[in-house]
Chain A
């Protein structure tokens, strides 16, 4: 058991940190980028591809780098640290992760190569109005005609749904939930994009007898694959949130030592420094859990449960730190111009993409009686 990165992992961390610092070290840079569609910087996306980041978790034979959940965690944390708007978790970990898990060898080569090279953005079109974080599809149906399929129904909100070159779509078949690949140019596909509160982009994606290709073979229910891909994405998000929380706390601490009221800097007021200390407690507990869940994924343990644990801990910490960071800044904290509030906005977004803290808690509570104690270094987490 150890929590240390090896030297290659440290190098990856420094390289990604350097790149993202150049791109977003100044909050104004991010503001310019997120102002215009697609909400992220195609150039930075290309640089991440050159660095190998976009192919990180995929096998080398599929055009990836053959790295694992620890490397994903390292990148996600750096994304969070500067709120880089590039959809690493959404396109690579989640949409790409599904293709890697479910796709045929041919499909993997066809889709993951270009994703890794930065020439094709993938999005997972799964959420539907009227559902909350379910691993199954309900409102989009797939119809088979010979060898070909068409999809009909509405997905929303689909993160990066308007920009994506290729959509991975979940839909209902006789066998349950199946996954499909839909080309961005397909007929009968309409996409209406909009901004999300955190500067990102989402879309309403409507399918009207839209031609689609089945991802993988057979129409057996894919909900378990979706659940697993969700788990890996939740763990990556936990690390992204830790990066964001760390910056939010550091920014807040710095502000307390600079801002003067009543003739002294704010850090002279214990009512404030104690609240910062509590933020630190939340951050460190969340960090431990996020790293641990990444290790569970790496070890091949029960990722779904580990992801729920990381989700719960980071959700609670995100809300605590996000709200306090603004409060301890006073009025400037609620302005669009100053960066701190954007951290809270992003943390709030992460909290609602794949399930919030109460969602994770409900699932953990449902099985709480099945084990006397939790052993983080034992079954079912060590694989």
Chain B
């Protein structure tokens, strides 16, 4: 048991901090810090800056641009990136399809996609969920039927995040409707979003943002070579992908920077002759969330240190569960610090309400999503009860 980082890791942390705070354009980091809309170009620019320095996909195999880092180094990398308000490399590329292709793809697919995926030359979106297949993903109904050298895809996906920016989709399709277990008849296909027969319909979210979409497939023709892994192996791949998705989802660094902001804003808000930070109830709320976040960070460090074999530790469900709750708690604090000013969400010129206060409620409402996606918190409880407690 030892608290301090080794001198090498201390230096590593400093190196990461310096890189993120000096090599990623300030304007992009300011956008993230102010919780304003990050544009497609900004995502691409930020990820390319990271990739140029070899910092976009450190968790990939070294052969494909990864670094031979320890889990602790990856943790530090992620945390420093979040603390510096750097937009994280696109999860669909770097945490989802990249590792999947590195693990299950054939050589040709690896060569064709991986470098472009790391550099965000290809923007991927995730075609898993459907209107009737949410938590029960295996009940998905989008079909792919073999026709000569092609697959013909029909059906619908939904909740497709940033599908409007996407060049390609990785899409779970039912390829064997007769399989006795529904998990057995699923395959993973890749195809461009501009393939004839693909249409996209945006869904407006509660905060007025457009970040998710419905995607419809009508006789979409996909070359057979775009199948990843074996036919009907899609469920195994999906489980691998979802396991990776949970790692790093605690977003401790992001919540930390939110709390730092909450303190700053509470200090600037004066009510009845004293600042909100001097209000014992508000100070207590912030201190309590901060302590929970410390406990989460320490748990992440503990779990990270114990998952050396590359497989996610079962306790990583704790990270997703509590990590999402604390992100939500932080956004709630910001709303409460804004108080009545939080009503002015759509104020424009001519309003005295500061920008930070305007975005609080839209963000708070938007963040309800974090306990729903990535395996809802109920799904995480099911995993804890089943695989850890044996219930």
Contact = CB atoms under 8 A, between A and B. Distances in A.
Give the 8 A-B CB pairs with smallest separation, nearest first. Answer: A288-B298, A273-B385, A285-B295, A277-B381, A277-B384, A365-B283, A295-B3, A372-B260
Interface string B83-124: 100000000000000000000000000000000000000000
A376 to B, nearest CB: 6
Mostly, the B contact residues are helix
B259 interface: yes
A9 B1 CA distance: 10
B378 interface: yes
A276 B387 CA distance: 12
A365 B284 contact: yes
Interface string B311-346: 000010010011000000000000000000000000
Contacts of A3: 1, 301-302, 305-306
Given A3-B302, A277-B384, A292-B3, 17 more contacts: A1-B5, A1-B305, A2-B1, A2-B2, A256-B391, A257-B390, A267-B385, A267-B391, A270-B382, A273-B389, A274-B385, A276-B391, A278-B381, A365-B283, A365-B287, A368-B290, A376-B297
Contacts of A4: 1, 305
Contacts of B1: 2-6, 9, 70, 291, 294-295, 298
Give the interface residue-count category, chain A.
35 or more
A301 B302 CA distance: 20
B263 interface: yes
A285 B290 contact: no
Interface in A75-123: none
25 contacts: A1-B4, A1-B5, A2-B2, A2-B305, A4-B1, A5-B1, A70-B1, A253-B389, A273-B385, A274-B378, A277-B380, A277-B385, A280-B384, A284-B299, A284-B315, A285-B322, A291-B302, A294-B1, A361-B284, A361-B287, A361-B291, A362-B284, A368-B263, A369-B263, A381-B3
A347 interface: no
Contact of A373 (B4, B260, B378, B384): B260
B287 A376 contact: no
Contacts of B6: 1
A17 B387 CA distance: 26
Contacts of B291: 289, 309, 312-313, 361, 364
A365 B286 contact: yes
A361 B386 CA distance: 34
A366 interface: yes
A69 to B, nearest CB: 9
B292 interface: yes
A365 B306 CA distance: 33
B336 to A, nearest CB: 15
B4 A368 contact: no
Contacts, number: 153
Contacts of B267: 369
A247 interface: no
A175 to B, nearest CB: 32
A296 interface: yes
Given A280-B389, A369-B277, A372-B263, A377 B5 contact: yes
Contacts of A208: none
A284 B391 contact: no
A1 B9 contact: yes
B74 to A, nearest CB: 14
Contacts of B318: 280-281, 284-285
A67 to B, nearest CB: 12
A369 to B, nearest CB: 5
A336 interface: no
Contacts of B284: 361-362, 365
Interface in A288-319: 288-289, 291-292, 294-296, 298-299, 301, 309, 312-313
B294 A374 contact: yes
Contacts of A70: 1
Given A277-B381, A373-B256, A373-B259, A366 B283 contact: yes
B146 to A, nearest CB: 40
B81 to A, nearest CB: 15
Contacts of B5: 1, 377
Residue of B1, B4, B256 ringed by the most chain A CB atoms within 10 A: B1
A288 B287 contact: no
Nearest to B263: A369
A289 B388 CA distance: 20
A288 B299 contact: yes
A377 B294 CA distance: 11
Nearest to B297: A376
B4 A382 contact: yes
A202 interface: no
Interface string B211-244: 0000000000000000000000000000000000
A377 B10 CA distance: 10
